[in-house]
Amino acid sequence: MSRFCTQCGTVNEADARFCDACGKPLKPRATAPEAAVPASAAIALDTSPIPALSSRRLPWPWLGGGAALLLLLGAAAWYWLQPQEPSKEVFMTAINQHLAQHDADYRRRVCLRNLPYGRQSLVISPFDQASNAWLGELVKAGLYAAPQKISNGFFGEQLEYQQTDLARSAVVDGRLCVGTGIKAVAVTQWSPPQPMGELLVSQVRYDFQPRQPVAWLTPAIRRELFGEAGKGEARIMLLRKDGRWQVADDGERQALEAAVFMQALAKEGIERVGEQASTGLKAWFGRLFGPAEPSADDIWQALLAFSPLLASQQQGYAKQDCAVLESQPDTFSCRIRIDGGSERVLLSKNGDGVWQLRLP
């Protein structure tokens, strides 16, 4: 509010310190005394408790997150401890993990060897239509320069194809490779898993294509490599170990193939014949005047027809002896050696004159 000068009575602004008319200092306005706060109220204000709700609730979000993390870890551990059931997805994952770790071992399956690609130039007769047609595809892909006509003495005029740097970078051990390895693209078939001790074993067939294919992989080159299907086919042995399916290594595969084969024989009732066959001089006369016994190759082909799993054991296979059975003159009991063990099998000829395993 306005202030009055006591000297001349002039009205001044509320915050003026001197009179605007006469210049006399104006007395400072007296401030109203603050209301006294009762002691009891002051004490109440000073001693009011600080809410502790926030401090008590602070750990709960952390505890809740920790519990969720423990549940998640527990669920993951439970999942990984559960034995994997056979399926296309499980087998595909196991196969591709193995193939990715062994690219160099499988690279030859995506390499061409229909020409000597290790040479920097190829000289072809103009009349060799098949070779010229194929090299024409490679010229289109940028792997060879267009052919130049050269004189080749007695052979007359020839066509020379010079290899480009693009082709040279893709040649491995004289083969033209279209990828670093292979990858499985489909599991097409697998045998029912067979228990072998604590393991389960299955033979799996799968389709594959090149891993990291080159940019110049044309349809014509793909057909030359894989045929009209445009993809390769392979088989591989998988085993379930510690609950997880994985590709068997070479040692495991050889041991398991032999074991699976013998198990298949036992399942069909073919067991060791022991001493059922005639022996000694009588057996010798029987082999001399009786029907000709199966050769080592006859026995091997009969074994393969019964179980293709035996194919990898050929180096360890040998025929030891054969003897005709007294009660069955058309049947031979043959001892064979396979994978370090000696076994006996029964064989007889079918209607087409082919030796085959005979079930007791």
Which stretches does DSSP call E strand in 108-259?
111-112, 121-124, 148-151, 157-162, 171-172, 175-177, 181-190, 194-196, 199-211, 232-241, 244-247
Number of H helices and E strands in the chain, helices first, is 11, 17
| Residue-by-residue pLDDT tens, the chain, 360 positions | 667 777 777 777 777 777 777 777 777 665 555 544 454 444 444 455 555 545 455 555 666 666 666 767 666 555 556 788 999 999 999 999 999 999 999 999 999 988 999 999 999 999 889 899 999 999 999 999 999 999 876 667 899 999 999 999 999 999 999 999 999 999 999 888 888 878 889 889 999 999 999 999 999 999 998 888 888 999 899 999 889 999 998 888 777 777 766 666 665 555 444 444 444 444 444 444 445 788 888 899 888 887 776 777 788 888 988 888 877 778 888 988 887 777 888 998 887 778 888 865
What angle in degrees, to the nearest 10, is found between the helix axes of 296-306 and 250-267?
90
141 close to 117: Cβ distance less than 8 angstroms: no
Amino acid at 66: G
Give the CA radius of gyration of the chain: 46
Residue 189: both structure tokens together: 């078939």
The model's pTM is 0.53
Nearest-angstrom CA–CA distance, 54 and 57:
5
CA 323 to CA 284: how far, in whole Å?
A: 8
Q: Is 104 helix (H, G, I), strand (E, B) or coil?
A: helix
Residues near 92 by Cβ (< 8 Å), separated by ≥ 6? Answer: 184, 186, 187, 206
CB atoms within 10 A of CB 107: 20
Contact call for residues 122 and 116 (beta carbons, < 8 A): yes
Residue type, 269: G
